[in-house]
Structure formats: structure tokens, C-alpha cells
Structure 1
Amino acid sequence: MIEEQGRVIALEPGAVWVETLRKSTCSGCAAKNGCGQGLMDRLGVRERRGTIRALSDLQLQVGDSVVVGIREDVLLRGAFLVYLLPLLMLFAAALLATQLALAEPFVILAGLGGFLVAWLFVRKRSQRAASDSALQPVVLRAMLAGTASVL
């Protein structure tokens, strides 16, 4: 389970909205001076806050510090669908058009068409997944006031 600390900012039946602080890992990387993330870190862009909806059966109040978690396999499948599938479909469609000996403009259009089909599939799949409680982040535990970090 991947965990992140956050603060409750809104309540709804069976769920809460949690604000988290996005952190950079640049302090532990040897290439921090030569990458774009290091530049963003120095410019202060890393201080953005994110909000997520997390399922919860705990009695929480606005302002409570919590630990939110999501299963690793859910995160990996989501990353595959969002990042890798459209790229693979773009290449597969372009390769198919090349094998059919189509002219270069049609190969380009086929690649873009494959990307579009994958994007539509990902969009439809994400709409269905939004209502699946097994794929949602959950509040794992509330943190004691003495152990809560300032967000």
C-alpha cells in the first residue's frame, strides 16, 4: 500500500476530501542540478497542494490529519493505462499502416488514430473506475495531534 499524509478539508457520506503536500525527491538524487524536476524544485513549484477523494469509515472532522493509501497494483495498472497504452497503440497503428505500404501521411494519420482510440478507451475506463470502491484511495488511519506534520 502506498501511503501519503494529508489533512481533511471536506466531508461527505462515506468519504472525505484530503489535501496533500506534493513532495520532491530531489534531495536524494545525484543528478538534481541537471534535471527538470530539480529546476522546478528550486523555483518553488514543488509546494503545490493536491486534493483527493478518499473513502473513509472513520469519524473525522475538517482539519484532522490522516494517512491515505492506495494499492500498488491499482497505481501500476492506472499508470500503464494512462501512459503506456496510448503510446503502444500509436506505434502499433503506425506499424500496421507501414506494413500495408501506405504513404507517409497515412502512416502518421494511422498513428494518431491509434492514439485517439487508446485515449477514448482510457477515458471510458476511468469513468467506470471512478465508481469502483476497490480502485479508490482509502483513509488508513487518523494521526494523533502530536504526530501530525504541518501541511
Structure 2
Amino acid sequence: MTASIGMTAGHWLEATARVDALLREGARVSVLTQSGCAGCASRKGCGTGLLATRRKARPRQLTIETSSDLTVGQTVRIGLPARRFLQGALAIYGLPLVTSLLAGGAAEAWLAPGHPLVPVAFLAGLACGVIGLALWGRCQPGSYRPVLLDPSPP
């Protein structure tokens, strides 16, 4: 996926995908992996080439909602607003981190420093953050799904 600089409403993370199946609500697509640049091919640089070789065994499949007329095997361009991607990443990493640090800090403050229950409280806070994240994700089922940008990319 490619990212644009900045976080305005017009910036998208984009990828090219192939339509695998037509569904009642849209289509199931497989994201086509990028092979990387010459630096990735020589296993130097960012590592996109290494990740692409490891992912060849199982392509990423997504369901997109669309009313466009698509055909199986067609190449399409899908995208996710950059702001939504950032919000999702902050939620996935931030919520469990904050709840675990709060629980561990509270246990450290209430119990003696170095008490054996402090790590247990930290792990309980981490579990509460993960459960909270799962519940939050159920309230926003379609907010973090890619959308069809162009049914026929160049």
C-alpha cells in the first residue's frame, strides 16, 4: 500500500486488488502484493520484497461493499482513508497499552513496590484493554474497511 503525506480528508492508503468472487453486498478481493524495489530484491532497504515473498503463500482477502458492476478476475483499486488507518493503529496499540500501564501503576501505588501482584495487575489491564478493543470494534464494523476507489485502474 502507498501512503500520502499529510492527514487531510483527501489522502488515502491505496492498493491494487483482484476480484475473486461477487457477493450480494459487494465483492471479495485479493490484495496484490508489491514486489518491491531493487533494494528490496537484494534484501537491503525497507523489506517490502522480503515480506512479499513470505506472503505469496496466502494472499490477503477482503470484502468490499460496492454497487459497481465488477467481474471475477478484474483488477480494481481499493483504499482506506489515511486518517482512519491512523485512528485504528492508535486504538489497537494505544488502548491495551494505556489500560495495562494504568492497572500496573495503580497496583504499584496501592501495594508495596515490587509486590508480586503488580505484574498480574499489568496483565489484567492488558486483557481489559484487548476486551475493550474487541467491544469497540463491534460498534464500528464498517468504519475500517477499504472501499472501492476505481473499478479499472491503469
Same structural fold, with TM-score higher than 0.5 when normalized by the shorter chain: yes
Structure 1 residue runs of 4 or more that deviate by more than 6 Å after TM superposition: none
Q: Which has the higher helix share?
A: 1
Candidates 88, 91, 94, aligned match of 1:81: 91
Between the two proteins, what is the percent identity of the paired residues?
Answer: 27
The aligned counterpart of 1:113 is: 124
TM-score w.r.t. structure 1 length? 0.77
Query: TM-score with structure 2 length normalisation?
Result: 0.76
Q: Which runs of 5+ in 2 are unaligned?
A: 1-11
SS in 2 for 1:104: coil
TM-aligned CA distance change 1:112 to 1:53, over 3 Å: same
- Cα distance change, pair 5–43 in 1 and its aligned pair in 2 (3 A): closer
Cα deviation code 1:58-100 (max 9, x no counterpart): 1111111100011112111111111222122212211111111
Matched residues in 1 for 2:120 and 2:74: separation? 51
Give the conservation status (yes or no) of the 8 Å contact 1:23–1:46: no
- The alignment partner of 1:44 has SS state of helix
Corresponding residue of 1:45: 54
Does 1:68 find its partner at 2:83?
no
Per chain length, whose mean CA-contact separation is higher, i.e. which structure has more relative contact order (CA < 8 Å, sep 6+)? 1
For 1:141, the equivalent position in structure 2 comes to 150
Describe the shift of the 1:25–1:76 C-alpha distance in structure 2 as closer, same or farther (beyond 3 A). farther
How far did 1:21 drift?
Answer: 2.5
RMSD: 2.7
